[in-house]
Amino acid sequence: MKNKFYVTTAIDYVNAEPHIGHAYQKIVADVLARWHRLKGEEVFFVTGTDEHGKKVQRAADKAGTPVKKFVDEISEKFKEAWKSLNIIPDRFIRTTDLDHEQIVKKFIEKCNKAGDIYLGEYEGYYCTDCEAYYTEREAPNFICPIHNKKLEKLREASYFFRLSKYSKFLLDLYKKSPEFILPRAKRNEIISRVKEGLQDLSISRTNFDWGIEFPLDKSHVVYVWFDALVNYYSATRKKGKERFWPANLHLLGKDNTWFHCVYWPAMLKSAEIKLPLTTFNHGFLTFNGQKISKSLGNAISPKILVEKYGADSVRYFCLRHFPFGEDGDFSEKALIARHNNELANKLGNLVSRVAGLIEKNGTTKCENKLIKKLDAKKIDRLIEDFKFDKALNEIFAFIDICNEYVQSKKIWETKDKKSLYELKESILKISELLLPFIPSSAEKISKQFSAKKIEKEDILFRKI
């Protein structure tokens, strides 16, 4: 479907509460959804929670809470966190949703019909936090490379998906559609690993029961990753949303690259379902050089950050301070500096001064030569290329030009109504471009400068 944009994020495990590392990806997805709506496209933005698996069952047991009650409570906290950050998905999907569970079962039946599922036995080293098996090469000394914990040796009967059958298909996909895996470094890494050969994937479990009943054998539950990946497709099976599949973009952390770029396309091919167009595998936010993670004990709550600094400042910092795709070290000190120097001094000062001058002097409509110094097409290209920091840099470079225009024209002395008209229209364009990034502030600016009588209001961004 032309003029549609379907963006998804990884869905988050509900073994613990949300932290700012989870929020980073969701902020980016929300920005992209809002940007494509500005361009007049029909948008579907999906995020949610991953609620099955051994890790979740263990967390519920540790909390002394029935597992369904536990996942209900944690899932609600994720919803609240995203609401506090002005992140507005079109669907918040839960893997315990009945429609999702039914579609997972149908998906497995399709793969089975294709001859791609068989019963066997699996023995290997497992990380419950990752819900994944590792080889000794992937995890030297059998220590999880993500969580730095000793792997657990497991042996169990399992149904397998014939992943090995799809090696050629995957390599052809990566060659014909290089945009399927971004950035390029991740694509090269995946190609190298797939060329080494693929092992069939264990897709059922018997050593716990918190999962979707395996449709071919009721004594098994579906492996959590096989279940979770299907959410992107199942979210579009609601009436009226079918047109959005295939997804334009899956956003995910780099630790999920293998699952999304190898397992997922092979699964879709087996089930005869169209493939998504792009997976973007970004880096982690870190805190003091470590991945932010509840299990590592260094999580930062997004709600607490919003209470301290405001949603727009947190959103702005995450998008402006780190080149998207790379790792970034989160720093409250750096957030405060960005807020004060850019949002308060530059944008806030421009809005306040110009509103005050217009309130006193009014405007006279004229040709807006000032706005010609803004390259909106370049900003669009940068956003399409996931260069959010550079796009914001372009916008703020124009804000600098507008501030310099006030100074050079000495409008407080000349009371030039034509210059004030140029500034008013330029500020309205700035608010439009900033709407996906800092929606609350942009809406406030737009409302203020669209009014018939522009009045100076309270300070837009107070210094922290």
Residue positions annotated with a catalytic role: 19, 22, 127, 130, 144, 147, 291, 294
Find all residues with CB under 8 Å of 447, minimum gap 6, and list them.
none
Give the containing element (helix H, strand E) for 181: strand 181-182
Pairing of strands 278-282, 117-127: unpaired
Strands (E), 25-88: 42-50
Bond prior to 145 in cis (omega within 30° of 0): no
The CA distance from 296 to 289, in Å, is 12
The CA distance from 220 to 223, in Å, is 9
Closest to 124 in 3D by CA, of 137, 113, 108: 137
Pairing of strands 290-291, 278-282: unpaired
Q: How many helices (H) and strands (E) does the chain have?
A: 19, 16
Give the containing element (helix H, strand E) for 193: helix 184-195
Find all residues with CB under 8 Å of 261, minimum gap 6, and list them.
180, 181, 186, 190, 279, 281
The CA distance from 170 to 116, in Å, is 16
Pairing of strands 42-50, 12-13: parallel
Instruction: Count other Cβ atoms within 10 Å, centred on residue 287.
Output: 19
Angle at 26 between CA 22 and CA 30, to 5 degrees: 165
Cα dist from 404 to 92, 398, 407, 409, whole Å: 44, 10, 5, 8
Per-residue tokens: 161: 């998906």
Amino acid found at 57: Q
Per-residue tokens: 353: 């001064």
Name the DSSP letter for residue 214: P
Amino acid found at 260: H
Strands (E), 185-320: 201-202, 204-205, 221-222, 249-253, 278-282, 285-287, 290-291
